[in-house]
Chain A
Amino acid sequence: MKIFIRESPKEGRLWVSVRDNGRGMDENEAAKAADPFYTTRITRKVGLGIPLFKASAEATDGSFEIRSKKGEGTEIAAMFHTSHIDCLPLGKIEDSIAALIFMNPEMDIEYIHECCSNRFKLDTREIKKVLGDVSISLPEVVDWIKEYVRNGLDELNGGVGNEIS
């Protein structure tokens, strides 16, 4: 899975995209994916992830797109106007990334965050290579990931912090 975030304070814009190489969707399914009452899961009848993502982008007068190909994978992408009053702060992104990796240890996750002309990259395949047989879900490792991301992003923003305003 690839997570890509690009911030452009100059333009007042933020792009977020998440791409996987999963089973993908046909046109019909992809069109319905942003409907909160459409889901393929069987535990309950609602699926809120994509609809909430779409709604938060559109609340800032931004845009949302879903691209998918059956058998190849799916990409969801959104653009946010960061100066819009309804734009949500990015929040503690290091917590999100650390929890995501902890919850999906078997998944390969690449996270790229760009701001201005700087770039931060985290790739769980590289971490797993260093760790060998040691689990990536180990509390010590999750903590390391959290700090690593935080440090990387601080450097990206010249130590300004993580709020986009």
Chain B
Amino acid sequence: MKSLKELEEIKQKTLDSVNLRKDRSGGTRVVVGMATCGIAAGARPVLLAFLEEVKKRNLGDVTVSQTGCIGVCRLEPMVEVYRPGEEKVTYVKMTADKVKRVVAEHIVNGRPVTEFTIGAAE
């Protein structure tokens, strides 16, 4: 059972590693399209899957955020990944399973998962 005490522990752990966390601005940004089209297509589990992977792998320099409609509703859920100094990569028709690969191969190892990108879908 989850308790407020556990929340207190999360807080303490975060404060202990605050230096690691503070400098997220220079890191990778993940943006999930969370408009009605995205949510209807399943963007919510995708967003939560990114958060879970970031937590699991303790990726201190990765920021996950949301935006509105990215513009190609038929390819939702869409995700944009911005790595510092690199071109933006847009992933389409995302699922929670695909998120694991994107995090492992692209965000951690720097190799975009080409087969999931908008370029491959078009």
A142 to B1, CA, bound (A): 16
Q: Does A127 contact B (CB under 8 A)?
A: yes
In chain A, what residue has the closest Cβ to B36?
A: A48
Contact A147 B34 (CB under 8 A): no
A103 in complex: contacting residue of B11, B52, B66, CB < 8 Å: B66
Q: State which of A95, A99, A127, A139 has its C-beta within 8 Å of the C-beta of B7.
A: A127
A144 and B2 within 8 A (CB) = yes
Contact: B51 with A143, CB < 8 Å?
yes
B36 lies within 8 A of A141 (CB):
no
Tell whether, in the assembled complex, residue A139 and residue B55 are in contact, meaning their CB atoms are under 8 Å apart. Answer: yes
Greatest chain B CB density within 10 A among A96, A126, A132, A144 is at A144
Are A102 and B7 interface neighbours, CB within 8 A? no
Q: Give CA–CA (A44, B4) in the complex, Å.
A: 41
Residue from B2, B15, B48 within 8 A of A151 (CB atoms): B2
Q: Which residue in chain B gives the minimum CB-CB distance to A126?
A: B4
Cβ contacts under 8 Å, A132 to chain B: 11
Q: When A103-B34, A148-B2, A151-B1 are in contact, do A131 and B51 touch as well, CB less than 8 Å?
A: no
Contact of A160 with B by CB under 8 A: no
Among B7, B47, B52, max chain A CB count under 10 A is at: B7
Task: Determine the residue in chain B with the shortest Cβ distance to A131.
Answer: B11
Contact of A142 among B8, B45, B48 (CB under 8 A): B48
Q: How many contacts A-B (CB < 8 Å)?
A: 63
B100 at interface, CB cutoff 8 A: no
How many angstroms from the CA of A148 to the CA of B3 in the assembled complex? 7
Inter-subunit contact A130/B11 (CB<8 Å): yes
B38 CB to closest chain A CB, in angstroms?
11
Residue in B closest to A154 when the chains form the complex, CB atoms: B1
A117 near B: Cβ within 8 Å?
A: no
Nearest Cβ on chain B to A19's Cβ, whole angstroms: 21
Q: Which residue of B lies closest to A44 (CB)?
A: B69
Q: What is the CB-to-nearest-CB distance from A121 to chain B, in angstroms, rounded to a whole number? A: 13
Give me the 4 closest cross-chain CB pairs, A-B, nearest first: A139-B55, A148-B2, A139-B51, A139-B54
> 25 A-B residue contacts at CB 8 Å?
A43-B68, A44-B69, A92-B45, A95-B45, A95-B48, A98-B48, A99-B34, A99-B47, A99-B48, A102-B66, A127-B7, A130-B4, A130-B8, A130-B11, A134-B14, A134-B15, A138-B10, A139-B54, A139-B55, A139-B64, A142-B51, A143-B51, A143-B52, A144-B6, A148-B2
